[in-house]
Amino acid sequence: MFSPYKNSYLQLVCSMNPRVINKAVDQAMQRKHFDPHTERPPAQRLESFQPSLYAPHVDITRARLGFGRVGLRIINRDLHSPDYLVQLQALHTILDQVQISENAMFLINLHVVYRLIDLMMSRDPVIKEKVCLALTYLANYYQGRKRILSRPKIIENLIWLIMRERREIRYAAAYTLRTLTRDRCSSEVILAQDKIIENLLKMVKNDHTGIVLLHLKTLESLFEWDQVKPLKANAFQIMLALFTNSDPRIVCAAMDCMTQLCKHDVGKKLADEYDLTRVLTPYLLNKSIEVRISAVGLMQYTTLTTRSKWRAKEFCDELTRNLVHLCHCPNSPLLQLRSMQVLINLCDCPDIRRHMKRHRDVKVNKIRIRSHEEWDGTSETSSYGLATGHNYRTMCIERVETIKNDFGDNAQILNVHSYLSTVQDVKRSLIYAINWKSYKN
């Protein structure tokens, strides 16, 4: 039967209005409460539940779809039905069914991915958006990514949608591409496409904030695999320009992309030319903790060269004071770890080491590191069960910098005890670096 809440057509054969059946069941059960999904007018939902692109001319009495393996085979065949309404109903139902892991795996084995790829270039904007959303759910599985990337043409179609379609479709296509790049092997296949880095960098300059954020996450995964192509496409200058964006999420994503670029020798030279360490110094006092974490993470690579260390000597007092202040943040062990690593890099310069010994030695020794009972594995502190949920030690929380890698097919759960012992080791290394003396002395 038709479910207005899920926007799916679930009955096999129906000769009457499904809402009459829903009302009859409610009366037989003697329900006293008001059900907004069965009353007139239909689909009385919140405004945020309404889709941005509506399905036109949908007749619910013409649906011939159902649950179970039989129904999934029917909707898989109906994706290429000559009847437009049947095709649209099948696509809406598949979008609901792929959110169930068992049904998603069954549809992957039925090669539904290939049928969806054929519908990507349809003239109907509703079909384009729903196809991208369905592919996003299927791309969360290893088998789904393998089937999707077996046809590299999908990358060309996604880039075409990202650059030429309306905002809703651009967002859906960007989300699909971002999901495909979570796997490192998939990033290698995507980078084989011509000018994909250049096209994404064009869209990063002037697009909607949410779409730009997805593109930056995609570029970060691609930069981690190969830094040569983005450096040739002037990605360093583009990411540097995004540092002044008003949205802290974009600033964090741009810094993360720049971190991947600075892993290359050319990226380190460009960081010295643009004096990136000096540029990042004001961000150490930013109100957003995500910006501070990203800035210190990038500074770990900008302070590796000899030129950067001698340049940092000119504003040594301000830089070391801010970094030591960040080291006294026991609520964020990740921020402590990165800040202490930057100080270790700077202590290679004799003048900075002497300054640290004279002015910061006492504060460094007083750095407090949390115990495993005080830390839940994230960089942000929140009340129990509010932002992280009851299963907070094994969940991946979006928009929260997690220490553990809890997503993907090969999730590596990091032991909290071992991580905190690593922070303790880095603190001892910092104290040793401050007190180190050359053989000449």
DSSP string, 301-353: HHTSSHHHHHHHGGGHHHHHHHHHHHHT-TT-HHHHHHHHHHHHHHTTSHHHH
Q: Which residues pair with 3 in a beta bridge?
A: 8
pLDDT of residue 250: 93
CA 400 to chain centre: 10
Which tokens is 41 given?
């007018």
Which tokens is 170 given?
């651009």
DSSP 397: P
Q: Which residues touch 263 (CB under 8 Å, ≥6 apart)?
A: 227, 301
pLDDT of residue 13: 53
Note whether 341 and 300 are within 8 A (CB).
yes
Note whether 251 and 289 are within 8 A (CB).
no
Range 137-166 average pLDDT: 89
Note whether 278 and 315 are within 8 A (CB).
yes
**Which tops the pLDDT comparison, 232 or 22?**
232
Q: How far is CA 79 from CA 95, 108, 119, 144, in A?
A: 12, 14, 8, 18
Note whether 335 and 329 are within 8 A (CB).
yes
In angstroms, the CA 172 to CA 168 distance is: 6
> Residue 136 above 60 pLDDT?
yes
pLDDT of residue 253: 92
Note whether 69 and 47 are within 8 A (CB).
no
Note whether 190 and 145 are within 8 A (CB).
no
Amino acid at 43: A
| Confidence tier at 266 by pLDDT (50, 70, 90) | very high
Q: How far is CA 391 from CA 386, 395, 399, in A?
A: 11, 6, 17
Range 236-249 average pLDDT: 91
Q: Which residues pair with 8 in a beta bridge?
A: 3
* CA atoms within 13 A of residue 346's CA, in its CB half-sphere: 30
pLDDT of residue 164: 87
Report pLDDT digits (tens) over 275-291: 899 999 999 988 888 89
Which tokens is 308 given?
């950067």
| Confidence tier at 68 by pLDDT (50, 70, 90) | low
pTM: 0.75
In angstroms, the CA 317 to CA 325 distance is: 12
Sequence length of the chain is 441
pLDDT of residue 376: 59
Peptide bond into 41 cis (omega under 30): yes
Q: Which residues pair with 405 in a beta bridge?
A: 412
pLDDT of residue 96: 84
In angstroms, the CA 221 to CA 43 distance is: 40
Range 193-219 average pLDDT: 89
Q: Using a pLDDT cut of 70, give the percent of the chain over it.
A: 77
Q: In 3D, which of 1, 6, 28 has the Cα closest to residue 17?
A: 1
* Helix, strand, coil abundance in the chain, percent, nearest 5: 65, 0, 35
Per CATH, the architecture of 275-371+421-429 is what?
Alpha Horseshoe (1.25)
Note whether 323 and 359 are within 8 A (CB).
no
Note whether 423 and 410 are within 8 A (CB).
no
Range 10-32 average pLDDT: 69
Q: How far is CA 289 from CA 141, 391, 405, 424, in A?
A: 32, 24, 20, 22
pLDDT of residue 388: 40
pLDDT of residue 392: 38
| Confidence tier at 397 by pLDDT (50, 70, 90) | very low
State whether residue 124 is helix, strand or coil.
Answer: coil
Residue where the block lists tokens 């080491």: 353
Range 290-298 average pLDDT: 92
> Residue 361 above 70 pLDDT?
yes
